[in-house]
Amino acid sequence: MFATKTAARDALLAARAVRPSGKGLLESAREHLGARQRIALYVSRGPEPQTGALIDWLLASGREVLLPILYADNDLGWGVAPGAADLVPGRLGLSEPPVDLGAAAIATADLVICPALAVDRHGVRLGRGGGSYDRALARVPAGTPIWAAVFDEEIVDHLPADPHDHPVTAALTPTRLVLLGQ
């Protein structure tokens, strides 16, 4: 479908730029979370599938939410979400928790929900190209589910991949959870 990651990113970002405002992930995530208590998530921006209502619901239901902190070298640290009003401005306009637990904190999550521009049916995730999430996902213990947040049309048959790309186990869309690599 896409010859290169650059071509895929360009096409997918262009499609997101013209789509109506992003739907949220709350309803589909709520159906599949089970008893998981510590979820690594992210604060969505712009035309991404929206995570705000999901974060609020997780916190209101007594669960702990880890949010990323973008370091100068593009690696990710993690902090506990204090609530949307208490986030602080981070690098590149991101909203981050005020306390950094370090890069290894992602390994303590019961579930990781990460951003993506697309995923393929084999579990290949296409991000924005900085490598932040590939490094962070490499710290997640085997067996911990990793869901990529995308829109339904961003689940494709094949994406270009590099050896350092970390696979995901499912795609979470505003309408469903699709298991990948099965």
Q: Where are the domains of the chain?
A: 5-174
Structure tokens that stand for 115 in this block: 């951003």
User: Looking at 1-10, 97-106, 143-152, which range is the least confident one?
Assistant: 1-10
Q: Are 133 and 114 in contact (CB under 8 A)?
A: yes
C-alpha 97: how far from its chain's center?
Answer: 16
Q: What is the pLDDT of residues 69-107, one digit of tens each?
A: 999 999 999 999 986 568 888 887 788 999 999 999 999
Residue 22: per-residue pLDDT: 61
Tell me the average pLDDT of the chain.
91
Q: What is the pLDDT of residues 104-115, one digit of tens each?
A: 999 999 999 999
Q: Are 86 and 77 in contact (CB under 8 A)?
A: no
**CA separation, residue 172 to residues 91, 93, 112 (Å):** 26, 24, 11
CA-angle at 34, arms to 133 and 144, nearest 5°: 35
User: Looking at 2-6, 53-57, 113-117, 148-152, which range is the least confident one?
Assistant: 2-6
pTM of the prediction?
Answer: 0.91
User: Looking at 19-28, 41-50, 67-76, 119-128, which range is the least confident one?
Assistant: 19-28
Residue 24: per-residue pLDDT: 85
Other Cβ atoms within 10 Å of 140 Cβ, number:
19
Residue 84: per-residue pLDDT: 57
Q: DSSP secondary-structure letter at 142?
A: T
User: 5-174 domain in CATH 3.40.50.10420?
Assistant: yes
Residue 19 has pLDDT above 80, yes or no: no
